[in-house]
A and B are shown apart, each in its own frame.
Chain A
């Protein structure tokens, strides 16, 4: 009997490393930020903010959101679900009452 090979969907595989080109709000430079396919957008936003928020860009009391290909992604969505691939560009912005910061 031959064993059938089934390729698991990315959501069922162990988390894989996804290095990103990221910019935080009004920061002056794009940075390298590694995340994994299992990270949620809230975690991705926090990983990018770690390098910039309160260090070069003053922290604001608003939630942070991830933009990918012009799309604003929900906080609970994972990198795998969002289809974010290694070397993709993302922008993290404050979700201010009057729109992005």
Chain B
């Protein structure tokens, strides 16, 4: 018997929908999960994925990817590859493993929701493959990070991070619950596959894999490219959903994309920014974070939204200005509050590194150089204690990241400004104007309590640095510290230093 040609059966297997007669459509696809809103039910019949795949093809390809990733891993386990990696790069991988492994699992739940409540059978089919992808990503990321625990206990946070109340996962949980757990599937498809995956991670993973190879981490590069090939496929659920939504409800499409672009940009500034501009050794840096964002994220994003007839988000100027400040402030915050991290943040401000930063960011010395100079002088005065925290940074009620974004006023001064809001008998503080606006527009949505809210409500005891670290699940063998103080302070030894705080008990 002759087999049917692929194109003859493809359409049939990708859409196995039928018309229910025993129950209402609403009972199967309730609005609060399916989220059609102003889009007529029948409009979803036109949903069509640009990349078609069948189950046998899917399984064969995934099997190949898995075998090749694990074969490389097995081969490298016998080498000293890990031991020769730079401490900065290792920190970037610890941050990645901890920050990503269980977000991949949250994405499984998001894909499953689309596989169940998407209003087109082909979409549900595509999301079924998507959830298998995300399950593989959660597993491969957890497994690859787990391997290094015996060499360095900080890798334990690969699996542990999202089970703690550390401020970094609190911020990420707030973002990803908003993006994957809370929304209906239409909003979810715009937030996750369309904005976060197509706009940010898919391209970042290409760059991250190249950085890993440059740093000599073949294993990590291999894992990342294996994941990226899946992302490139399942992220395409965003496009067809956007096409239908934008035709019937462009205002909603614009709001969802604006909100998720902003949230994605904030978390990228916190994690990708410091890794690219401070942790990666100078000789391995190919481009700055700003250059990466301009080349890989911004150009592509603008083309995409214009193709759909949408506008640049209302916060565009604030976002573009933030490319010169957000991640520098966040890096300084990560470094200063380093006991709260499960990696060893490099300060990365030796003379050569500062020259590079100043060349890439012409205001860097003006806005950040003076603060680093004081910390350098304190380290060189054997007063590292002065560079350690005794209170909490204020955390934004929208992105949960420290309020540390300096802006320049008309008189030329750079200052961190107050963005506050009184709502429902409570005062909120934000790191930026757009975080405040998003909170206001979305105020009835789920908003987690920030670490500051929890602290002031008495949930953290005792109310001191030790109590906060214990609440975060931080233990002494994992607690972050600078890997090499001399590396960035030795250039400045012997210079005259004034205006330094004197350690308690010592006369000035």
Determine whether B305 belongs to the interface, using a CB cutoff of 8 Å to chain A. Answer: no
Determine whether B406 belongs to the interface, using a CB cutoff of 8 Å to chain A. Answer: yes
Cβ-defined contact, B378 with A31, below 8 A: no
Determine whether A87 belongs to the interface, using a CB cutoff of 8 Å to chain B. Answer: yes
Q: Write out the residue numbers on chain B whose beta carbons fall within 8 Å of the beta carbon of A28.
A: 329, 332-333, 367-368, 371, 404, 406, 416
The minimal Cβ–Cβ distance linking B8 to chain A, given in whole angstroms, is 63
Identify which of A21, A26, A54, A91 gathers the most chain B CB atoms within 10 Å of its CB. A54
Determine whether B375 belongs to the interface, using a CB cutoff of 8 Å to chain A. Answer: yes
Determine whether A32 belongs to the interface, using a CB cutoff of 8 Å to chain B. Answer: yes
Chain A: how many interface residues by the 8 Å CB criterion?
25
Q: A97 vs B402: C-alpha distance in the bound complex, in angstroms?
A: 32
Instruction: List the one stretch of B57-65, B285-293, B385-393 in contact with chain A.
Output: B385-393
Q: Identify whether the interface residues of B are mostly helix, strand, loop, or mixed.
A: mixed
Q: Which of A26, A29, A88 is within 8 Å of B394, CB to CB?
A: A29
Q: A28-B368, A58-B370 are in contact. Are A89 and B455 (CB under 8 A)?
A: no
Q: How many A-B residue pairs have CB under 8 A?
A: 97
Determine whether B452 belongs to the interface, using a CB cutoff of 8 Å to chain A. Answer: yes
Cβ-defined contact, A30 with B429, below 8 A: yes
Q: Which of A29, A57, A59 is within 8 Å of B403, CB to CB?
A: A29
Instruction: List the one stretch of B11-19, B102-110, B497-505 in contact with chain A.
Output: B497-505
Mark contacts of A69-99 with chain B using CB atoms, 8 A cut-off: 1 yes-contact digit, 0 otherwise: 0000000000000000001110100000000
The minimal Cβ–Cβ distance linking B418 to chain A, given in whole angstroms, is 4
Mark contacts of B392-406 with chain A using CB atoms, 8 A cut-off: 1 yes-contact digit, 0 otherwise: 111000000011101
Q: Write out the residue numbers on chain A whose beta carbons fall within 8 Å of the beta carbon of B387.
A: 55
Identify which of A19, A27, A58, A59 gathers the most chain B CB atoms within 10 Å of its CB. A58
Q: A26-B370, A28-B404, A56-B375 are in contact. Are A21 and B392 (CB under 8 A)?
A: no
Q: A25 vs B406: C-alpha distance in the bound complex, in angstroms?
A: 12
Determine whether A10 belongs to the interface, using a CB cutoff of 8 Å to chain B. Answer: no
Q: A18 vs B418: C-alpha distance in the bound complex, in angstroms?
A: 18
12 contacts between A and B (CB under 8 A): A21-B420, A23-B415, A28-B333, A30-B394, A31-B391, A31-B394, A55-B374, A56-B336, A57-B374, A59-B500, A87-B427, A91-B418
B residues with CB within 8 A of A:
329, 332-333, 336, 367-368, 370-371, 373-375, 378, 386-387, 389-394, 402-404, 406, 413-416, 418, 420, 427, 429, 452, 455-456, 498-502
New A-B contacts (15) at CB < 8 Å, excluding given A29-B394, A89-B429: A26-B414, A27-B416, A28-B371, A29-B393, A30-B393, A30-B394, A32-B392, A55-B386, A55-B387, A57-B370, A57-B371, A57-B374, A58-B373, A58-B499, A91-B418
